[in-house]
Amino acid sequence: NGNGGKIHPFVSLEFFPPRTNDGEKNLNERIGRLKENVNPLFVDFTWGADGSTADSTLDLTVQAKNVHNLIPNMHLTCTNMPKSKIDTALSECKKNGIQNIVALRGDPPAGESHWEASENGFSCALDLIRYIKKNHDDYFCLSVAGYPEGHPDKIKSRPEGIDSLSASEMTRYNLSRETGEITVCSDQDWNEELNYLKGKCEAGADLIITQMFFDVEVFKNFRVACRNNGIKVPIIP
Protein backbone atom coordinates (compact mmCIF):
# COMPACT_ATOMS: atom_id res chain seq x y z
CA ASN A 1 0.00 0.00 0.00
CA GLY A 2 2.98 2.33 -0.33
CA ASN A 3 3.49 2.58 3.43
CA GLY A 4 5.90 -0.28 3.98
CA GLY A 5 3.06 -2.74 4.53
CA LYS A 6 1.55 -0.72 7.37
CA ILE A 7 -2.20 -0.22 7.36
CA HIS A 8 -3.43 3.04 8.83
CA PRO A 9 -7.06 3.15 9.97
CA PHE A 10 -9.18 6.07 8.88
CA VAL A 11 -12.17 7.87 10.33
CA SER A 12 -15.08 9.45 8.50
CA LEU A 13 -17.65 11.72 10.12
CA GLU A 14 -21.35 12.15 9.41
CA PHE A 15 -23.45 15.13 10.45
CA PHE A 16 -27.13 15.95 10.40
CA PRO A 17 -27.68 19.66 9.62
CA PRO A 18 -28.83 21.64 12.69
CA ARG A 19 -32.23 23.27 12.64
CA THR A 20 -31.05 26.78 13.56
CA ASN A 21 -28.46 29.26 12.30
CA ASP A 22 -26.73 29.21 15.68
CA GLY A 23 -26.62 25.43 15.55
CA GLU A 24 -25.08 25.51 12.09
CA LYS A 25 -22.47 28.04 13.23
CA ASN A 26 -21.64 25.88 16.25
CA LEU A 27 -21.30 22.78 14.08
CA ASN A 28 -18.96 24.57 11.70
CA GLU A 29 -16.73 25.52 14.61
CA ARG A 30 -16.72 21.92 15.83
CA ILE A 31 -15.88 20.64 12.36
CA GLY A 32 -12.84 22.92 12.39
CA ARG A 33 -11.69 21.43 15.69
CA LEU A 34 -12.39 17.89 14.51
CA LYS A 35 -10.31 18.54 11.41
CA GLU A 36 -7.33 19.32 13.63
CA ASN A 37 -7.87 16.48 16.12
CA VAL A 38 -9.28 13.66 13.99
CA ASN A 39 -8.44 14.58 10.39
CA PRO A 40 -11.27 12.53 8.84
CA LEU A 41 -10.85 10.93 5.45
CA PHE A 42 -14.14 12.54 4.41
CA VAL A 43 -17.25 14.06 5.99
CA ASP A 44 -20.88 13.25 5.18
CA PHE A 45 -23.82 15.60 5.49
CA THR A 46 -27.28 14.05 5.53
CA TRP A 47 -30.24 15.21 3.46
CA GLY A 48 -33.56 15.54 5.27
CA ALA A 49 -36.67 13.77 4.02
CA ASP A 50 -38.35 15.60 1.12
CA GLY A 51 -35.41 18.03 0.98
CA SER A 52 -36.21 19.62 4.34
CA THR A 53 -32.52 20.38 5.01
CA ALA A 54 -31.51 21.11 1.40
CA ASP A 55 -30.11 24.60 1.99
CA SER A 56 -28.21 23.82 5.19
CA THR A 57 -26.92 20.51 3.83
CA LEU A 58 -25.46 22.26 0.82
CA ASP A 59 -24.08 25.16 2.89
CA LEU A 60 -22.29 22.79 5.27
CA THR A 61 -20.96 20.73 2.38
CA VAL A 62 -19.52 23.80 0.65
CA GLN A 63 -17.98 25.15 3.87
CA ALA A 64 -16.41 21.78 4.63
CA LYS A 65 -14.66 21.96 1.27
CA ASN A 66 -13.79 25.64 1.06
CA VAL A 67 -13.28 26.62 4.70
CA HIS A 68 -12.03 23.44 6.34
CA ASN A 69 -10.32 21.87 3.31
CA LEU A 70 -12.09 18.57 3.91
CA ILE A 71 -13.46 16.12 1.36
CA PRO A 72 -17.27 16.40 1.56
CA ASN A 73 -19.67 13.64 0.62
CA MET A 74 -23.20 15.01 0.34
CA HIS A 75 -26.24 12.79 0.82
CA LEU A 76 -29.01 13.17 -1.73
CA THR A 77 -32.29 11.32 -1.26
CA CYS A 78 -35.21 10.94 -3.64
CA THR A 79 -38.05 10.26 -1.18
CA ASN A 80 -40.89 12.73 -1.83
CA MET A 81 -38.47 14.68 -4.06
CA PRO A 82 -39.57 16.14 -7.42
CA LYS A 83 -36.94 16.11 -10.14
CA SER A 84 -36.73 19.91 -10.00
CA LYS A 85 -35.28 19.73 -6.46
CA ILE A 86 -32.79 17.08 -7.54
CA ASP A 87 -31.76 19.23 -10.50
CA THR A 88 -31.28 22.27 -8.28
CA ALA A 89 -29.19 20.34 -5.78
CA LEU A 90 -26.93 18.86 -8.46
CA SER A 91 -26.57 22.22 -10.20
CA GLU A 92 -25.51 23.88 -6.94
CA CYS A 93 -23.03 21.09 -6.29
CA LYS A 94 -21.43 21.52 -9.70
CA LYS A 95 -21.31 25.30 -9.26
CA ASN A 96 -19.40 24.83 -6.01
CA GLY A 97 -17.14 22.03 -7.16
CA ILE A 98 -18.82 19.34 -5.05
CA GLN A 99 -18.34 16.00 -6.77
CA ASN A 100 -19.10 13.36 -4.12
CA ILE A 101 -22.73 12.33 -3.74
CA VAL A 102 -24.32 9.56 -1.65
CA ALA A 103 -27.36 8.51 -3.70
CA LEU A 104 -30.12 7.20 -1.42
CA ARG A 105 -33.83 6.45 -1.41
CA GLY A 106 -34.17 8.07 2.00
CA ASP A 107 -36.58 7.80 4.91
CA PRO A 108 -40.20 8.95 5.05
CA PRO A 109 -40.86 12.46 6.39
CA ALA A 110 -41.25 12.81 10.16
CA GLY A 111 -44.55 11.41 11.40
CA GLU A 112 -45.08 9.18 8.36
CA SER A 113 -44.49 5.44 8.31
CA HIS A 114 -44.19 5.04 4.55
CA TRP A 115 -42.26 6.88 1.87
CA GLU A 116 -43.67 7.58 -1.56
CA ALA A 117 -42.41 8.77 -4.92
CA SER A 118 -43.39 12.23 -6.09
CA GLU A 119 -45.33 12.50 -9.32
CA ASN A 120 -42.87 11.86 -12.16
CA GLY A 121 -40.23 11.42 -9.45
CA PHE A 122 -38.01 8.57 -8.35
CA SER A 123 -39.04 5.35 -6.63
CA CYS A 124 -35.62 4.12 -5.49
CA ALA A 125 -31.91 4.92 -5.33
CA LEU A 126 -31.36 3.05 -8.61
CA ASP A 127 -33.62 5.55 -10.38
CA LEU A 128 -31.62 8.40 -8.88
CA ILE A 129 -28.29 6.93 -9.97
CA ARG A 130 -29.48 6.40 -13.52
CA TYR A 131 -30.80 9.96 -13.66
CA ILE A 132 -27.56 11.48 -12.38
CA LYS A 133 -25.43 9.44 -14.79
CA LYS A 134 -27.68 10.30 -17.72
CA ASN A 135 -27.60 14.03 -17.06
CA HIS A 136 -24.12 14.51 -15.59
CA ASP A 137 -22.11 11.63 -17.02
CA ASP A 138 -19.06 10.96 -14.82
CA TYR A 139 -18.82 14.34 -13.10
CA PHE A 140 -20.04 12.97 -9.77
CA CYS A 141 -18.51 10.15 -7.72
CA LEU A 142 -21.59 8.25 -6.57
CA SER A 143 -21.70 6.30 -3.32
CA VAL A 144 -24.53 3.92 -2.46
CA ALA A 145 -25.62 2.19 0.73
CA GLY A 146 -24.74 -1.39 1.57
CA TYR A 147 -26.29 -3.42 4.38
CA PRO A 148 -24.07 -6.14 5.89
CA GLU A 149 -26.94 -7.45 8.05
CA GLY A 150 -29.57 -6.91 5.37
CA HIS A 151 -31.71 -3.87 4.63
CA PRO A 152 -33.59 -2.69 7.76
CA ASP A 153 -36.89 -3.08 5.89
CA LYS A 154 -36.03 -6.74 5.32
CA ILE A 155 -34.89 -7.67 8.83
CA LYS A 156 -37.83 -9.50 10.38
CA SER A 157 -38.68 -11.48 13.47
CA ARG A 158 -38.07 -15.23 13.34
CA PRO A 159 -40.46 -16.66 15.97
CA GLU A 160 -39.52 -20.23 15.01
CA GLY A 161 -36.24 -19.70 16.84
CA ILE A 162 -32.56 -20.19 16.17
CA ASP A 163 -33.00 -23.75 14.89
CA SER A 164 -34.91 -22.37 11.91
CA LEU A 165 -31.94 -20.31 10.69
CA SER A 166 -29.87 -21.42 7.72
CA ALA A 167 -26.08 -21.49 7.90
CA SER A 168 -25.98 -18.16 6.06
CA GLU A 169 -28.64 -16.59 8.29
CA MET A 170 -26.66 -17.69 11.34
CA THR A 171 -23.87 -15.31 10.30
CA ARG A 172 -26.06 -12.17 10.47
CA TYR A 173 -28.99 -12.71 12.85
CA ASN A 174 -29.61 -10.58 15.95
CA LEU A 175 -30.77 -11.77 19.35
CA SER A 176 -32.39 -9.29 21.73
CA ARG A 177 -31.00 -9.64 25.24
CA GLU A 178 -34.13 -8.04 26.66
CA THR A 179 -36.82 -10.06 24.91
CA GLY A 180 -35.00 -13.02 23.40
CA GLU A 181 -36.46 -12.13 19.99
CA ILE A 182 -34.49 -13.29 16.97
CA THR A 183 -34.47 -11.05 13.90
CA VAL A 184 -32.77 -11.75 10.60
CA CYS A 185 -32.78 -10.91 6.91
CA SER A 186 -33.83 -14.14 5.22
CA ASP A 187 -31.67 -15.75 2.56
CA GLN A 188 -34.23 -14.89 -0.12
CA ASP A 189 -34.34 -11.21 0.86
CA TRP A 190 -30.55 -11.16 1.29
CA ASN A 191 -30.00 -12.43 -2.26
CA GLU A 192 -32.54 -9.97 -3.65
CA GLU A 193 -30.75 -7.12 -1.85
CA LEU A 194 -27.38 -8.24 -3.23
CA ASN A 195 -28.78 -8.32 -6.76
CA TYR A 196 -30.26 -4.86 -6.27
CA LEU A 197 -26.92 -3.57 -4.98
CA LYS A 198 -25.21 -5.04 -8.02
CA GLY A 199 -27.75 -3.23 -10.19
CA LYS A 200 -26.87 0.07 -8.55
CA CYS A 201 -23.19 -0.54 -9.22
CA GLU A 202 -23.83 -1.52 -12.84
CA ALA A 203 -25.87 1.68 -13.24
CA GLY A 204 -22.85 3.76 -12.25
CA ALA A 205 -22.23 3.67 -8.49
CA ASP A 206 -18.52 4.09 -7.77
CA LEU A 207 -18.37 2.75 -4.22
CA ILE A 208 -20.43 1.30 -1.39
CA ILE A 209 -20.66 2.75 2.13
CA THR A 210 -22.10 0.27 4.59
CA GLN A 211 -24.67 0.64 7.31
CA MET A 212 -23.23 0.55 10.82
CA PHE A 213 -22.42 -2.90 12.19
CA PHE A 214 -20.83 -4.16 15.38
CA ASP A 215 -19.43 -7.53 14.32
CA VAL A 216 -16.50 -7.38 11.89
CA GLU A 217 -17.26 -10.91 10.73
CA VAL A 218 -20.62 -9.69 9.45
CA PHE A 219 -18.81 -7.12 7.31
CA LYS A 220 -16.28 -9.65 6.05
CA ASN A 221 -19.07 -12.04 5.05
CA PHE A 222 -20.87 -9.20 3.29
CA ARG A 223 -17.74 -8.26 1.37
CA VAL A 224 -17.17 -11.85 0.25
CA ALA A 225 -20.82 -12.12 -0.83
CA CYS A 226 -20.50 -8.93 -2.85
CA ARG A 227 -17.37 -10.13 -4.62
CA ASN A 228 -18.93 -13.52 -5.32
CA ASN A 229 -21.92 -11.71 -6.80
CA GLY A 230 -19.76 -9.73 -9.21
CA ILE A 231 -19.72 -6.48 -7.25
CA LYS A 232 -16.22 -5.07 -7.73
CA VAL A 233 -16.40 -1.46 -6.49
CA PRO A 234 -14.69 -0.45 -3.22
CA ILE A 235 -16.66 -1.15 -0.03
CA ILE A 236 -16.13 1.29 2.85
CA PRO A 237 -17.30 0.18 6.31
Which positions are annotated as active-site residues? 14
Beta pairing, strands 207-210 & 141-146: parallel
* CB 1 within 8 Å of CB 46: no
Beta-ladder partners of 184: 156
For 92, half-sphere exposure in the C-beta direction (CA atoms, 13 angstrom radius) is 17
User: Who contacts 235 (Cβ-Cβ below 8 Å, separation ≥6)?
Assistant: 146, 207, 208, 210, 222, 223, 226
Amino acid identity, residue 120?
N
What residues have CB less than 8 Å from 66, skipping those under 6 apart?
96
Burial state string for 1-14 with b = 16 or more CB within 10 A and e = fewer than 16: eeeeeeeeeeeebe
Sign of CA dihedral 87, 93, 99, 105: negative
Contact assessment for residue 141 and residue 97, using Cβ atoms and an 8 Å cutoff: no
CA distance 182 to 152: 14
Classify 13 as helix, strand or coil.
strand
Write the CB contacts of 18 (distance below 8 Å, at least 6 apart in sequence).
24, 26, 27, 56
